Amino acid sequence: MDSLSDNFLFRRLQSPFSCLIINLAIGDLGTSCLHIMVVVSSFKGKWAFGSTGCVFYAFGVGFFGMMSIFTLAAISVERYLVITSRPLSSWKLTRRGARKICFFSWIYCTSLVTPPLFGWSRYTLEGLLTSCSWDYTTKTVSNTVYYLYLLGFGFIVPVAVITYCYTSIVSAVFAHGREMAGVDMTSGRSGNSGVGKSTSLNNAHSTSLKTAEIIFILIAFFFLSWTPYAVITFIGHFGPEGILNPWITAMPAYFAKMSVIYNPIVYGLSHPHFQSSVKQYLSTWMASSSNNSKDNEEPTTGRNAAVALNPIKHDQHFR
């Protein structure tokens, strides 16, 4: 919600990169809305929305969860191309390109979560029977193939992309540090001719790195939320029967559902443009409120002055 409202309120944040952030925010918002069904069911002690509601919930949470991790992978690629390109500004994501990525993410994630609707695996109750997911405990050949398909393209591939991109970013950071050290030494020997260039490169690189740090924190929280659930589902499918009880399967699932909390908090507290935009919005709102209060006070003040100047007419008015 923070990302959505901020991008629509402030034109300067409506950039191609912000399109990806909006896509991520849509995933978080959609998941948050669906989790209301689990809250209601938890208070009732059983799933409260029937088999159709179970399928709807599991499909929606699966779709939005996959969209989040796909978007994080796309953002990692964008940061990788920006930071590791030479020169630094030789590649830029366009708004049209960002929209294509977002559209492809919806198609890609739909292909991952649609098969259970047509008989390839199924959506069913899990854990304490107050939540739903795909069936990761039935050990048929068809179900195993779908589980590997979902695990591979929905988790392992994005994780591999993210890992490669951020490993390359770290390597580029160290290489940039050595390069800037060489530029500074050369500038010291030859005067100030290279100082401006060095400062410009450093500023651009620092901005890119700051954004990369924020996204890395988001990814770390996402992995902390979803990796235990991925491990539990793997054990549930390939491990011995009876090794998991409802509480063991429920806790990682609830922990994974908390991932939607981290993104707006981390993004809102860390992103400098978001912070400055919020300050601008609050200052404008406070100034507007102050002006409105002054406008409301002026007629009252003028009326009191008129009464003081002509008290006889005021008394006659009440006679």
Identify the segments of the chain with pLDDT beneath 70. 1-14, 86-91, 176-209, 211, 263-264, 267-275, 277-278, 292-319
Q: Domain extents for the chain?
A: 2-270
Distance CA 254, CA 260 (A): 11
pLDDT at 123 (0 to 100):
96
Which stretches of 239-310 are DSSP H helices?
A: 246-257, 259-270, 272-309
CB 70 within 8 A of CB 158: yes
pLDDT at 315 (0 to 100):
42
- CATH homologous superfamily of 2-270: Rhodopsin 7-helix transmembrane proteins (1.20.1070.10)
Q: Which class for 16: exposed (0-12), middle (13-18), buried (19 or more C-beta within 10 A)?
A: middle
CA distances in angstroms from 11 to 14, 24, 99, 274, listed in the order given: 5, 19, 17, 12
pLDDT at 131 (0 to 100):
92
pLDDT at 59 (0 to 100):
97
Residue owning tokens 């992995």? 223
CB 20 within 8 A of CB 101: yes
CB 72 within 8 A of CB 88: no
